[in-house]
Chains A and B, each alone.
Chain A
Amino acid sequence: MGENGYLEIEVPILVQSAGLEEHLHPIKASSGYLHTSPEFALKRVLAMGLPKIYSIVPCFRDEELGCHHGQEFTMLEWYRAGVGYREIMVEVADLLYRLCSVVGVDTEPVEKLTWADAYKKHTNSLAPLDEIEAMRVWVNDIEPKLQAPTIITDYPSEQAAFSVVRGDIAERFELYWRGVELANAFTELLDPVELRARWEKSGESRRLAGREPHPIDERVIDAVAKHPRAGGIALGVDRLVMLLLGASSIHEVRLPG
């Protein structure tokens, strides 16, 4: 990261608000939460005027446990001012191939597919209209087939999270490798009004599901209003290490807590 001009930022882990998304469940501390990613802190730093920043840091998510999930895991997240998600694609692919060559792992060239084309290619039909059904098909029939490094783009706008939306398509991509989701990237949303609306909507869905809404962090809304156009990405380090070493679970490559 340093070679590419990125500056490492030490972010707070104990935070006032741990996320935006409906399906992210933070771990509560006696005051505040453990962060679910360094996203909010890094956006505030981006707004302070540092153009290329990253953090590699433990993150915490409740109710996630499996061979590719842990309540504690390590995230590498970086942001770059002045670019969109396409430039970030080049950087993450470069990182993957450099690490493969360091470890001596051979892999196929990157494939690019839109979200809708992934359904056509791997299920011979369109994505189901029902969002939950579409996700069920995704995890059952599509994810396991994304073996070559694959960049999925053009997510439906309902799955936009923090990304810019054009028409009904979110400017967001995910990187898959060996059937495992490795990274998620955005052209970052710059509209504080839209951000507040998404935050409130997720809060409402969480309330309806009987969960505590994520508090709206005004400093993050301010940061989004101030920071320049930027691309950003979050990458699961444990999953990457697992795949590079040929392990079958992230728990084989982490010291249990």
Chain B
Amino acid sequence: MVYFQFVKPGKGTAFTRTKLKNMITGAVIERTFRTGETVGVADVEEFTMQFQYDDGDMYFFMNMETYETVGISTAVLDGVEKFLIDGLEVQVLLYKERPVAVELPNFIEAEITYCEPGVKGNTAQGATKPATVAGGAIVQVPLFVDQGEVIKIDTRTKSYVSRVRK
């Protein structure tokens, strides 16, 4: 379920308007459930897995419970791969033993591999520049942040939180 809204017509029963995403095809459909309607629970399992390496197409993780190596394609990673750093632990959802979704921790720390040079003393509110971090994601950072620095990123909004002093 990627969206839901409680709705209740004036004198009627309550409904919940939802958008449901097919975890395999990515297709999103809309469905409105009446309060009290029930649906079956999908046979899914969640595992903590550690990122090991990639070969460009596939990204390989170690299941921290079974120590098996699992390969996940960029189609399933859906952009998550741009935040992957060696050793990062993520949550992987398996449906019938097949990976269908990968969730990053809410906050990660990543080194800036490229950005324009910092402007000393420029702390203007709201002024930002793009910065590429290890993994390849591009996030907007304040002008005073420099290449080589490590920053904290909120992966839910893909936004800069702070600098990390090492």
Write the residues of chain A forming the contact surface with B, with a CB cutoff of 8 angstroms.
Answer: 21, 23, 63-69, 131-132, 135-136, 138-140, 143, 155, 159-161, 174, 181, 184
Q: How close is B108's CB to chain A, nearest CB, in angstroms? A: 29
Q: How close is B34's CB to chain A, nearest CB, in angstroms? A: 6
- Contacts of A161 on B, CB cut-off 8 Å? 11
Extra 15 A-B pairs, beta carbons < 8 Å, given A21-B11, A23-B13, A63-B14: A64-B8, A66-B5, A66-B6, A68-B7, A69-B6, A132-B34, A135-B12, A138-B12, A139-B17, A139-B32, A140-B17, A143-B7, A159-B12, A160-B11, A181-B10
* A136 in contact with B11 (CB, 8 Å): no
Report Cα–Cα, A108/B7, bound state, in Å.
25
- Contacts of B6 on A, CB cut-off 8 Å? 64-69
Report Cα–Cα, A65/B6, bound state, in Å.
7
- Give the number of residue pairs across the A-B interface with Cβ within 8 Å: 55
- Contacts of B12 on A, CB cut-off 8 Å? 23, 131, 135, 138, 159
* B5 in contact with A67 (CB, 8 Å): yes
Interface string of B11-52 (1 = CB under 8 A from A): 111110100000000000010101100000000000000000
* A139 in contact with B13 (CB, 8 Å): no
Closest-by-CB residue of B relative to A21 is B11
* B5 in contact with A135 (CB, 8 Å): no
Report Cα–Cα, A69/B9, bound state, in Å.
12
* A159 in contact with B11 (CB, 8 Å): yes
Report Cα–Cα, A67/B16, bound state, in Å.
12
A-B contact pairs, 27 of them (CB 8 A): A21-B11, A63-B35, A64-B6, A64-B8, A64-B14, A65-B6, A66-B6, A67-B5, A67-B6, A68-B6, A68-B7, A69-B8, A135-B9, A135-B12, A136-B15, A139-B7, A139-B8, A139-B9, A139-B17, A140-B32, A159-B10, A159-B11, A161-B11, A174-B10, A181-B9, A181-B10, A184-B11
* B34 in contact with A23 (CB, 8 Å): no
* B9 in contact with A138 (CB, 8 Å): yes
- Contacts of B7 on A, CB cut-off 8 Å? 66, 68, 139, 143
Give the contacting residue for B10; candidates A66, A136, A184; CB below 8 A.
Answer: A184
Closest-by-CB residue of A relative to B33 is A136
* B5 in contact with A136 (CB, 8 Å): no
- Contacts of A131 on B, CB cut-off 8 Å? 12
* A136 in contact with B14 (CB, 8 Å): no
* B15 in contact with A139 (CB, 8 Å): yes
Report Cα–Cα, A184/B6, bound state, in Å.
19
Give the contacting residue for B32; candidates A64, A66, A136; CB below 8 A.
Answer: A136
- Contacts of B5 on A, CB cut-off 8 Å? 66-67
- Contacts of A66 on B, CB cut-off 8 Å? 5-7
- Contacts of B9 on A, CB cut-off 8 Å? 135, 138-139, 143, 181
Report Cα–Cα, A179/B143, bound state, in Å.
42
Report Cα–Cα, A101/B144, bound state, in Å.
45
Q: A64-B6, A66-B6 are in contact. Are A135 and B13 (CB under 8 A)?
A: yes
Q: How close is A25's CB to chain B, nearest CB, in angstroms? A: 9
Give the contacting residue for B13; candidates A68, A132, A160, A174; CB below 8 A.
Answer: A132
Report Cα–Cα, A184/B139, bound state, in Å.
48
- Contacts of A184 on B, CB cut-off 8 Å? 10-11
Closest-by-CB residue of B relative to A25 is B14
Report Cα–Cα, A21/B15, bound state, in Å.
17
Q: A23-B13, A23-B14, A64-B14 are in contact. Are A136 and B34 (CB under 8 A)?
A: yes
